[in-house]
């Protein structure tokens, strides 16, 4: 079951779902989703001379990622073919009985901007700002302005609360993130050597 606007409002009012700061609930709460705004921090992937990225190598991240902060009144230009990590303004806390799905907004999709490559799910128990995997699939640069509505969350009710929700107890890598986070795949068990 996907939550409707009324369900979302009731969850927010009762505190069983948290989205902070929700600047304009009347604008951001849609019929079956909540629009989230673009933050100011970005991780840009450098065009570099490393032969490849090794998923099990944490030290390589510094070799190919630059942090960028966009000042108030400025824009972030997403060029064709670019892939950058962004973040939401809002911090989200997903309860143990819901899953949140990160989706793009159709108005930006029509400009060829996508907000996730593959990580479109916030597990039950997730808490933090959402890292967005931003790409421009079009042929023209697109100006992104911090605070603009960039993505939306839909919420699906589980049949039962998760028995082992996302969080510190399971060693969840991105719990509590406060901005865009580069991959932490090197901490996966299969890379533990």
Ligand-binding site membership of 131 (annotated): yes
Ligand-binding site membership of 98 (annotated): no
| pLDDT at residue number 62 | 67
| pLDDT at residue number 94 | 98
| pLDDT at residue number 60 | 65
pTM for this model (two decimals): 0.91
> pLDDT tens track of the chain, all 193 residues?
999 999 999 999 999 999 999 999 999 999 999 999 999 999 998 776 667 777 777 666 667 788 999 998 999 999 999 999 999 999 999 999 999 999 999 999 999 999 998 878 999 999 999 999 999 999 999 999 999 999 999 999 999 999 999 988 888 888 988 989 887 777 777 776 5
Ligand-binding site membership of 24 (annotated): no
Ligand-binding site membership of 178 (annotated): no
| pLDDT at residue number 49 | 65
By annotation, the residues acting in catalysis are 133
C-alpha span between 74 and 71 (Å, rounded): 5
> Which domains, ranges and CATH numbers included, belong to the chain?
5-45+58-180 (2.70.40.10)
Ligand-binding site membership of 152 (annotated): yes
Of 134, 148, 57, 125, the closest CA to residue 102 belongs to 134
CB 141 within 8 A of CB 80: yes
Of 79, 59, 4, 96, the closest CA to residue 183 belongs to 59
Chain Cα centroid distance, residue 156 = 17
Ligand-binding site membership of 110 (annotated): yes
């Amino acid at each position: 079951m996907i939550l409707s606007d009324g369900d979302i409002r009731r969850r927010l009012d009762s505190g069983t779902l948290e989205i902070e700061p929700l600047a304009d609930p009347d604008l951001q709460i849609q019929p079956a989703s909540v629009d989230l705004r673009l933050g100011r921090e970005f991780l840009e992937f450098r065009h570099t001379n490393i032969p490849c990225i090794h998923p099990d190598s944490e030290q390589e991240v510094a070799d190919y990622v630059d942090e960028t902060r966009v000042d108030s009144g400025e824009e972030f230009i997403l060029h064709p073919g670019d892939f950058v990590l962004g973040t939401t303004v809002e911090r989200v806390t997903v309860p143990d009985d819901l899953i949140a799905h990160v989706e793009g907004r159709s108005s930006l999709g029509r400009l060829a901007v996508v907000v996730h490559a593959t990580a479109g799910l916030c597990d039950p128990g997730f808490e933090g700002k959402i890292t967005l995997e931003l790409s421009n699939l079009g042929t023209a640069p697109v100006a992104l302005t911090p605070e603009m509505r960039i993505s939306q969350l839909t919420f699906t009710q589980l049949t039962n609360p998760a028995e082992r929700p996302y969080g510190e107890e399971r060693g969840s890598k991105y719990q509590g993130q406060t901005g865009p986070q580069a991959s932490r795949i090197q901490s996966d068990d299969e890379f533990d050597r």
